[in-house]
Amino acid sequence: MKTYSRIFVSIRKLGAIRSNRKFLIGLCIIVGIFVISGIGSAISPYHPRRIGDVAPNLPPSSEHILGTDPMGRDILTQLFAGTLLSMQIGFTAGIIAFAVALLLAMLGAYYGGYGDSIINVFTEVFITIPSLAILILIAAVVGRVDVPLMSVILAAFGWSFACKVFRAQVLSLKERGFVRLAKLSGASGIEIIAKELVPNMLTFLGTWFAFIVSGAMMAEAGLELIGLGPQNTVSLGIILNWSMHFNAFTRGLINWWLPPCIVLITLFVSLFVISMGLDEIGNPRLRKR
């Protein structure tokens, strides 16, 4: 089935992706962090969570590059494991939220009518409700959260803003020439969505995916910081929670709480840079001359 949208636009964009510095740098950093954490976790001789694994409160040395924590665990191993888990939860939540947002937006904006109004109101309500407050409520009540459940909970509110934005974009694209042409030539709704709309929204969707993941990770770290995260695991926010409990500040345990902060900041900033890069690719006006 032919597509009527300018296919060469998509191909040109792929080329542009390769040449856009911001996107590449951001992507490299994220992938790099992931790979390093993965490798580090795999080759580390220490266990990230087992209490008393090694001697506690050791300062950084050649054996323990970041030292050990008050409960006798190697901090660097913790950091690797924590980073992996945080990223996993964040991305999973991001994917779920993204899928929900996209689905609802497409259904609503494309098919319009009554259903669209309902979806629209539903989305607006979710946007207005302060998500973290409800997340805290849910997490507190549910108690023992496990990793998949955590992702679902995080996704529960992360979809709303993106949905609104996606819907607006689909609405504006819906009226364009190539969509009408496709309709006239008998393409079904799903075909049009998949072959005409989505390819033209690729960079836009990419930008928002980065935002969603970033938001999910921020909420995740926030919840974990106050003790509401998945139990029996280690993630960046949980490390920060522990360090708060053990008064890491007063005891000068900067090697414990600072690395997670830095990793988190790096993740957020890289995601932001990726989204800016994608934005530039999709919107030529933003490119520097």
Partner 1 sequence: MYTLKYFLRRISMYGLTLLIAISINFVVPRLIPGNPVQTKMAQLYRQGVNLGGKEFIEKFSRLFYLDQPMHMQFINYMNNLIHGNLGLSITYFPSTVEEMIMRALPWTIGLLATAVIISYAGGLVLGALMGWTQRKERGSRLVSGVFVVSMFLSQIPYYILGIMLVYLLTFIFVVFPYGGGVDISLSFGTIEYIISIIQHATLPALSIVLVQVGGWALEARGLMVNVLGEDYLFLAKAKGLHDKQIFRSYAVKNMILPSITDFAIYFGTIASGSIITEIVFSYPGIGSLMYSAVQQLDYPLIQGVTLVVIFGVTTAALIIDLVYPFLDPRVGEK
Q: Is residue 227 a contact point for partner 1 (CB under 8 A)?
A: yes
Q: Is residue 130 a contact point for partner 1 (CB under 8 A)?
A: yes
Which of 60, 51, 63, 72 is CA-nearest to residue 258?
Answer: 60
- Judged by CB under 8 A, which stretch of 106-114, 185-193, 200-208, 268-276 contacts partner 1? 268-276
- Judged by CB under 8 A, which stretch of 3-11, 32-40, 59-67, 118-126 contacts partner 1? 118-126
Q: Is 202 helix (H, G, I), strand (E, B) or coil?
A: helix
Query: Using CB under 8 A, which of 28, 121, 168, 190 touches partner 1?
Result: 121
Contacts of 211 (CB under 8 A, 6+ apart): 162, 271, 275
* Identity of the residue, 104 or 219, whose beta carbon is nearer to partner 1 in the bound complex: 219
Which of 1, 6, 2 is CA-nearest to residue 173?
Answer: 6
Q: Is residue 168 a contact point for partner 1 (CB under 8 A)?
A: no
Q: Is residue 240 a contact point for partner 1 (CB under 8 A)?
A: yes
Q: How far apart are CA 159 and CA 97, in angstroms?
A: 4
Q: Is residue 186 a contact point for partner 1 (CB under 8 A)?
A: no
Token pair for 278: 């994608």
57 Rama sector, left if φ>0, alpha if ψ -120 to 50, beta otherwise = left
- Judged by CB under 8 A, which stretch of 8-16, 45-53, 194-202, 226-234 contacts partner 1? 226-234
* Identity of the residue, 136 or 147, whose beta carbon is nearer to partner 1 in the bound complex: 136
Q: Is residue 86 a contact point for partner 1 (CB under 8 A)?
A: no
Q: Is residue 149 a contact point for partner 1 (CB under 8 A)?
A: no
Work out how close the CB of 78 gets to partner 1 at its nearest, in angstroms, rounded to a whole number.
17
| Cα distances (angstroms) measured from residue 181 to each of 4, 66, 184, 188 | 7, 61, 5, 12
Query: Using CB under 8 A, which of 24, 95, 132, 194 touches partner 1?
Result: 132
Q: How far apart are CA 98 and CA 211, in angstroms?
A: 10
Count residues contacting partner 1 (CB under 8 A)? 43
DSSP code string of 115-138: HHHHHHHHHHHHHHS-HHHHHHHH
- Judged by CB under 8 A, which stretch of 34-42, 84-92, 125-133, 170-178 contacts partner 1? 125-133
What's the length of the chain? Answer: 289
C-alpha 140: how far from chain center: 22
Q: Is residue 124 a contact point for partner 1 (CB under 8 A)?
A: yes
* Residue 24 burial class via C-beta count within 10 angstroms: exposed 0-12, middle 13-18, buried 19 and up: middle
Q: Is residue 142 a contact point for partner 1 (CB under 8 A)?
A: yes
First to last CA, the chain: 38
* Identity of the residue, 194 or 276, whose beta carbon is nearer to partner 1 in the bound complex: 276
Q: Is residue 244 a contact point for partner 1 (CB under 8 A)?
A: yes
Contacts of 91 (CB under 8 A, 6+ apart): 213, 216
Q: Is residue 226 a contact point for partner 1 (CB under 8 A)?
A: yes
Q: Is residue 232 a contact point for partner 1 (CB under 8 A)?
A: no
Q: Which residues sit at the interface with partner 1, rule CB under 8 A?
A: 121, 124-125, 127-134, 136-138, 140-143, 161, 214, 218-219, 221-222, 225-228, 240, 244, 249-250, 252, 254, 257-258, 261, 264-265, 268-269, 271-272
